[in-house]
Structure 1
Amino acid sequence: MKRIIICLLFVLTLGAGPHPDNNRTETHKDRAIAEQRNDYSHVAFTAISPASRPNILFCISDDQSYAHTGANGESQVKTPAFDRIAGEGIRFTGAFCDAPTCGPSRSAILTGQHIWQLEEAANIHSTLPAKFTTYTELLQNAGYAVGFTGKGWSPGRLEPGGRTINPAGEEFNSRKLKPSFKGMTNKDYAANFDEFLAQVSPDQPFCFWLGTHEPHRGYDKGAGQRTGKDPAKVIVPPIFPDHPVVRNDILDYFVEIEHFDKMVARAIATLEKSGQLDNTIVVITSDHGMPFPRAKASL
């Protein structure tokens, strides 16, 4: 069995510092943030020789609660890629999401800062100011090839924050497929990863963000039952009414989780085939919880 360096369900908190002093001037706060980033950059990258730098495949689903994988005990969702990684790698069961909405959570992941440190980026449909350095920028400055497919930093606008490209990296979204169900996008995330790899020099490490739009709503109603899932076997979270409509809605959500897992499996297979898996850190996570009442957007 190949050795895989893996982190599971892990929200990155790199470089997160103490709460800023409200009595500081804006210039002082900016300087403190810049100094903190410089320290992080030095520790993270200059201590590692270029020849030993690992690749990074960061897989992030959109609106998936941690409990909804086979490895975490849910029998009605099939996640063999995740389950394999859970068995061969490390599960971070004590990590917490920094925000229950997409943009702020992704800003926290990318910068390693808590949302209350990120100014406008703490709000959804906002911007991520360029003064907040992302780990992707640090890696690119250290010689990594950096790219993303699907949903990177989103939703929001780049220009008001002084950015011209998505903070997740260069976009690779040209490869398409015919979705299996309504509500899924036509982006072939795994094929886009292949396209990215084809442009990476053999001696260059890479960092790729594989961000699916699934299992974000909307769903193909009845997809779960049509794929053979049993609503009677669904574990209904106690915050929801135990009703057939709820059970079937959860099954439809599971179908989209399985789509994400299949994309992860294809990406890992590509790395195995090319002999790069043993030198690749694979991270699987989500931005926040399931898109249901009392879950997503709730504290």
Structure 2
Amino acid sequence: MRRYPRLLLLALAGCTLTAAVAATRRPNIVLILADDLGYGDLGCYGQTQIPTPHIDRLAREGMRFTQFYAGAPVCAPSRNVLMTGQHTGHTQIRGNAKVDLRPEDITLAQVLKSAGYFTALYGKWGLGSENSAAPPRKKGFDAFFGYLDQTHAHNYYPSFLVRDEQRVPLRNVVPQEGRYGQGVAATRLDYSHDLIADAALTTLARQTSARPFFLYLAFTLPHANNEKSPDGMEVPDLGAFARTAWPGPEKGFAAMVARLDRDVGRVLSQLKAAGLDDNTIVILTSDNGPHREGGHDADFFNSRGSLRGYKRDLYEGGIRVPFVVRWPGHIGAGQSSDFVGYLGDVMATLAELAGASPPAHLDSLSFAPTLLGRAAAQPPHEFLYWEFYEGRSAQAVRFGDWKAVRSPWAPAPSSSTTSPLTARRRRTSPPPIPPRWSAPAPGWTKPTSPPRSGPRRGEKIRRWRARASPAACTAVTPLSCAPCCSPRSWAPAPPSAQPHPPSFPASSTTVPCSCPTSGRSVPRAARSRSATSP
């Protein structure tokens, strides 16, 4: 009987919170997602050669996060994580294959639309192809203009873009155009990013305080046109960078980042002109780490900072991304946070701030307490988890200041290749491994072949995800360290097994071993970094 007063108190608290949300004007939301923008590509994260004054202003007037992660090391699965609030152990898309969201996948746009928001997407979707059940208009967006397919989005001078679900012809001519619209234009008249940014600003100019809005700007800058390598950094003009002595692709990359920054400034100016500035949350982040495509060298501008790895790596450089949030009057200016989060947390956070109800069973933790100056009340993640199926595949988990990375389909360890850490005595020991991570899930069986980069259309994701071998490489190291390999098995749980991450052998934490995963040396600065360093 004693439980009833407690239930009554909880009900009253819920009513009070609901009333408070209803009485408060719900914030507008502008979510800007750059494409392949590295942790070190912005002035507010240490970039010195490419000016980014407007994005730096966001950081000065808001909060900059130093330990925030992408959902995956490439675009499609990372966007799946962002839109659904689930990590890649649960998402439908785990590589850049042609896989669509399922009907049961609830997106952030659907959550906010159900709370009365106008929702619009401008830029790259990548989660539902033409004539599928998952274009943006069927996944919660009231308006869409841009690219449905990530391969199509390589081409900055395409022959068409998509508005809602209809193709819009452009004046560009693309000889030998690929199946998805990719290719290299011979006649270049309409630059896609400019068209997308202009359309977004037109929609923004129509918004009023009468109805809250969610504007998702999934810009494609500074991604390369991979089909145009080794000169794939397509941009209409190089601006001030034309006068530098840099290689052509680096001039193009710098011009792309500057163009992205320019349009962030245009968004901020439009919000101010419309009187919406003080009640709009503006978020800027990236879908993964810096690329080495289109002739661009990610180390030329130190795009990964002092982190190890690049796009397609589950090391820090491949998934730690810039994340800046501004909300005048609510988020204190000039703050820096070391909260450990990832793009999947955006779902729970924005739902809470908007007074919306997210789906149950998400891998999403609201960091609203951190944003609103109540860091002491912020619960931490128990762990963050990633899995990625391209090439040899990869899995990673971060818990506390420790991180493990393994490649289930890497070759067997070789005595001829040695990890830089083999001879280095660690000064700290990893924390105890939770018992539920330390044994294979019931029913797991050894597969007979490695996974492809993605399942064929219509193939069940369960069959694809269950394919992973007893481990060739296991790592349990501080974030400051390179991975260490062990022949001991680390068998992943099948998709039906809960919870994630998969099994994790405690014995792998102390065994000296050699690592076949890379012949590249790890810079001393990367090896010595602390997990709490930016």
Could you tell me the TM-score, scaled by structure 2's length? Answer: 0.40
The one-letter code matched in structure 2 to 1:268 is L
Kept in 1: contact 2:106–2:139 (CA 8 A):
no
Q: Which has the larger radius of gyration?
A: 2
State the partner residue of 2:233. Answer: 219
1:71 offset after TM fit, Å? 1.6
Higher relative contact order (CA 8 A, sep 6+): 1
Q: Distance in 2 between matches of 1:276 and 1:128?
A: 33
- Partner of 2:116, secondary structure, is coil
1:216 offset after TM fit, Å? 0.7
Show structure 2 runs of 5+ residues with no match: 1-14, 147-162, 173-187, 225-231, 294-308, 315-534
1:72 aligns with 2:86: no
1:76 offset after TM fit, Å? 1.3
Q: Distance in 2 between matches of 1:97 and 1:295?
A: 12
The RMSD of aligned alpha carbons is 3.4
State the partner residue of 1:298. Answer: 313
State the partner residue of 2:270. Answer: 270
1:257 offset after TM fit, Å? 1.1
Q: Which moved more, 1:198-207 or 1:107-116?
A: 198-207
State the partner residue of 1:206. Answer: 213
Q: Distance in 2 between matches of 1:191 and 1:251?
A: 24
Q: Label 1:193 to 1:168 Cα distance change in 2 as closer, same or farther (>3 A).
A: farther
Kept in 1: contact 2:113–2:140 (CA 8 A):
no
State the partner residue of 1:122. Answer: 94
After superposition, the C-alpha distances for 1:164-222 in whole angstroms (9 at most, x for unaligned) are 636472214579999xx999535334422232235545410000011211101021499
1:74 offset after TM fit, Å? 1.4
Q: Distance in 2 between matches of 1:127 and 1:198?
A: 32
State the partner residue of 1:236. Answer: none
- Partner of 1:171, secondary structure, is strand
2:195 pairs, out of 178, 188, 191, with 188
Q: Distance in 1 between matches of 2:18 and 2:132?
A: 30
1:157 aligns with 2:171: no
Q: Label 1:162 to 1:225 Cα distance change in 2 as closer, same or farther (>3 A).
A: closer
- Partner of 2:252, secondary structure, is helix
1:118 offset after TM fit, Å? 1.0
- Partner of 1:204, secondary structure, is coil
Kept in 1: contact 2:119–2:213 (CA 8 A):
yes
State the partner residue of 1:140. Answer: 113
- Aligned residue pairs, count: 238
Q: Label 1:76 to 1:137 Cα distance change in 2 as closer, same or farther (>3 A).
A: same
Q: Percent identity?
A: 29
The one-letter code matched in structure 2 to 1:219 is M
State the partner residue of 1:102. Answer: 75
1:73 offset after TM fit, Å? 1.8
Q: Which moved more, 1:66-75 or 1:141-150?
A: 66-75
State the partner residue of 1:84. Answer: 57
Q: Label 1:140 to 1:229 Cα distance change in 2 as closer, same or farther (>3 A).
A: farther
The one-letter code matched in structure 2 to 1:108 is V
Kept in 2: contact 1:184–1:256 (CA 8 A):
no
State the partner residue of 1:58. Answer: 31
Kept in 1: contact 2:80–2:127 (CA 8 A):
no
The one-letter code matched in structure 2 to 1:84 is R
The one-letter code matched in structure 1 to 2:269 is A
Q: Distance in 2 between matches of 1:132 and 1:148?
A: 17
Kept in 1: contact 2:121–2:217 (CA 8 A):
yes
Q: Label 1:225 to 1:166 Cα distance change in 2 as closer, same or farther (>3 A).
A: farther
State the partner residue of 1:48. Answer: 21
Q: Which has the larger helix fraction?
A: 1
Q: Distance in 2 between matches of 1:45 and 1:172?
A: 34
Show structure 1 runs of 5+ residues with no match: 1-41, 232-244
State the partner residue of 1:257. Answer: 257
The one-letter code matched in structure 2 to 1:144 is Y
The one-letter code matched in structure 2 to 1:274 is A
Kept in 1: contact 2:193–2:219 (CA 8 A):
no
Q: Label 1:273 to 1:183 Cα distance change in 2 as closer, same or farther (>3 A).
A: closer
